[in-house]
Amino acid sequence: MHDPSELLEDGPAAVRQLARRRYDLDLAALEKAVRRRSEAQAEVTRLRTELNRTSRARGRSGPPSEEEKEAARALRADVQQAEATARTAGHDLTQLLLGIPNVPLDSVPDGDTDQEAVEIRRWGRPPHEVGTDARHHSDIGESLGILDGPAAAKLSGSRFSVGRGAGARLERALADFFLDLHTGEHGYTEYSVPFLVNRDTMTGTGQLPKFEDDLFRTQVGDRELFLIPTAEVPLTNLVAQQLLDARALPYAFTARTPCFRAEAGAYGRDTRGILRLHQFEKVELVRVCAPEDAPAQLELMVGHAEECLRRLELSYRVVQLPAGDLGFSARMTYDIEVWLPGSDAYREISSVSDCGTFQARRADIRHKRADGRKAPAATLNGSALPIGRTVAALLEQGVQEDGSVLLPEALVPYTGFRRILPGGATA
C-alpha cells in the first residue's frame, strides 16, 4: 500500500510510472479521498475539544442545568456521528489505496508481457545440446510410471497431480535438498507455517482484495480462511504489526508448503503436465531489510535461487520483467526460466521480487533506525524452488535414449538413486 501524500507529491511522475504497468492513477479521486478524511478527522478533533471545554466549564460552575445536560448530550451525539464519518472516510481511502499496485522502479524496462522481458544471463549448455530426446515431461513421467495423471483426475479433476514411487521420492528429496541448501549455506531460518490464513494476512502481502477470484477460500461458521497461494504470505506476515530493530536486519525466512491457486485467469494454458496446477509444493524465500538495502538483497536472493539450478545441473536463463508484467506488489522482478526441451522453450521456475516498502505499509512492518526514527521496512520474496516444475525440468533435461532419466549427483544423498528406469525401478 502507498503513502497517499507521497503519491500526491509525486503527482504526474506517479501517474507516468503506474501507466507503464497499465494502471490509470486517478489523482483527483485520490486527492478528494485524502481531503475528505482530513476534514472528517479535523471535525472530530474540533468537536472533542468543544466537548472537553464545556465539560470543564460546567465542573467549575456547579451542577449543570437541564439545558446544559441536553446540550452536552447533543454534543456527544455530534462527536459520535463525526467519528463514524471519519471511520467511513478512512475506510474509503484505504480501499482506494489497496487497489493501487506498486510503482515500478525507473530501471524496470517498458513492456507488457513476458515476451518483452530483458535477458540478463544464461547458464548451462545451449538448448539444442540439452538431451537427446525432446519429450514432454508428462510422457516421460507416465512411461516411467512415476506420474499418474488419470489418478489425479479421478481424485480431484483437472490441474492436479499424483506422484508415485520414485516420483514421490524425488519430490521429497528436492524439498529436503532445497531446504538444506538455504538453511545450511544461505543463512535462512526454516519455518513451519499454517496453510490457512485470515483475510488480514492475505491483504498484508497484496493478494487481497485484488486477487480474490484466484484464491481458494473456506468458511466454517463465521470463520473465514484462505488457502495460501505461496509461503510468502505467512512468512512475510510473521513480522506484521511489529517494530523491528534495524541492527537485526535482514531477516531471512524459508518454508516448504503446498500452494493453492485457482488459476482463474489461466484457462486453457498448460493443461498438460505439472507446470500449472491448483495445488503444488514450493520452497519459498523471504527477506526483510532496511529499504536502502533492498537492491543488494534482491541480487543475493536471485543468486540463491540460481544455485539450486546449478547444483541440479539444469540449464536456465535470468530475465528482468517489464513494468507491465510485474506482480501487483513488486516494484522489480527477476524471473529465472529453466529450459524445457519438450516445450522447446524457457519457462519460469522462479520469480524473485523486490517489493520495497509496499507490503510493509500494508502489514505494518516497521523498523527502528539507529537515529531512533521509525519507518516501514522493505520485503522481498522468491521461489527456490517449486517442486513440480523442477521435476518437469529434471525429466526433460535428464531423459536418456533408452527412456531412463539420469538425475544429478547432488540429489543422490537425498534420493538414494541416480537413475529412474522405465517401469519405475531405480539404480
Cα separation, 71 vs 65, whole angstroms: 10
Q: Are residues 287 and 397 in the same domain?
A: yes
pLDDT of residue 55: 76
Answer whether residue 268 shows pLDDT above 70: no
Query: Of the residues 66, 98, 130, which one is the last residue of a structural domain?
Result: 98
- For residue 216, being part of any structural domain is answered with yes
Instruction: Give yes or no for a contact between 323 and 104, defined as CB atoms under 8 angstroms apart.
Output: yes
Instruction: Give yes or no for a contact between 310 and 287, defined as CB atoms under 8 angstroms apart.
Output: no
- For residue 233, being part of any structural domain is answered with yes
- For residue 67, being part of any structural domain is answered with yes
419 sits in which H/E element = strand 419-420
What does pLDDT average to over the chain?
A: 93
pLDDT of residue 261: 95
Answer whether residue 391 shows pLDDT above 90: yes
Q: Are residues 57 and 129 in the same domain?
A: no
Q: What is the pLDDT of residues 208-254, one digit of tens each?
A: 999 999 999 999 999 999 999 999 999 999 999 999 999 999 999 99
Query: Of the residues 98, 128, 151, which one is the last residue of a structural domain?
Result: 98
Cα separation, 26 vs 286, whole angstroms: 32
Q: Are residues 72 and 129 in the same domain?
A: no
- In total, how many domains does the chain have? 2
- For residue 427, being part of any structural domain is answered with no
Largest Cα–Cα separation, the chain: 102
Pairing of strands 332-340, 217-220: unpaired
Q: Report which of 397, 418, 400, 420 is spatially closest to residue 409, judged by C-alpha positions.
A: 418
Q: Indicate whether this model's pTM tops 0.85.
A: yes
- For residue 425, being part of any structural domain is answered with no
Cα separation, 303 vs 380, whole angstroms: 14
- Identify the CATH number of the domain in which residue 52 sits: 1.10.287
Q: Are residues 263 and 397 in the same domain?
A: yes
**Residue given cell 547458464 in the structure block:** 123
Q: Are residues 350 and 416 in the same domain?
A: yes
pLDDT of residue 73: 85
142 burial level (CB within 10 Å; 0-12, 13-18, 19+):
middle
Q: Are residues 66 and 203 in the same domain?
A: no
> Helices in 312-402 by DSSP H: which ranges?
358-363, 387-398
- For residue 399, being part of any structural domain is answered with yes
Answer whether residue 270 shows pLDDT above 70: no
309 burial level (CB within 10 Å; 0-12, 13-18, 19+):
buried
Instruction: Give yes or no for a contact between 228 and 200, defined as CB atoms under 8 angstroms apart.
Output: no
Q: What is the pLDDT of residues 43-76, one digit of tens each?
A: 999 999 988 888 776 656 667 677 777 877 888 8
pLDDT of residue 70: 80
Find the range with the poorest average confidence among 109-113, 178-182, 266-270, 324-328: 266-270
Instruction: Give helix 166-184 / helix 387-398 axis angle, nearest 10°.
Output: 110
Q: Are residues 152 and 185 in the same domain?
A: yes
Q: Are residues 292 and 223 in the same domain?
A: yes
Query: Of the residues 54, 74, 98, which one is the last residue of a structural domain?
Result: 98
Q: Are residues 291 and 331 in the same domain?
A: yes
For the four alpha carbons of 386, 392, 396 and 398, in that order, the dihedral sign comes to positive
Q: Are residues 222 and 197 in the same domain?
A: yes
pLDDT of residue 371: 86
Answer whether residue 132 shows pLDDT above 60: no
Domain interval for residue 20: 4-98
| CA distance readout (Å), 269 to 148, 168, 325, 347 | 20, 25, 17, 13
Q: What is the pLDDT of residues 271-298, one digit of tens each?
A: 788 899 999 999 999 999 999 999 999 9
pLDDT of residue 360: 98
- For residue 118, being part of any structural domain is answered with yes
To the nearest whole percent, how much of the chain has pLDDT over 70?
A: 95
To the nearest whole percent, how much of the chain has pLDDT over 90?
A: 85
Q: Are residues 226 and 372 in the same domain?
A: yes
Q: Are residues 88 and 127 in the same domain?
A: no
**Residue given cell 530501471 in the structure block:** 107
Answer whether residue 313 shows pLDDT above 80: yes
- Identify the CATH number of the domain in which residue 342 sits: 3.30.930.10
- For residue 90, being part of any structural domain is answered with yes
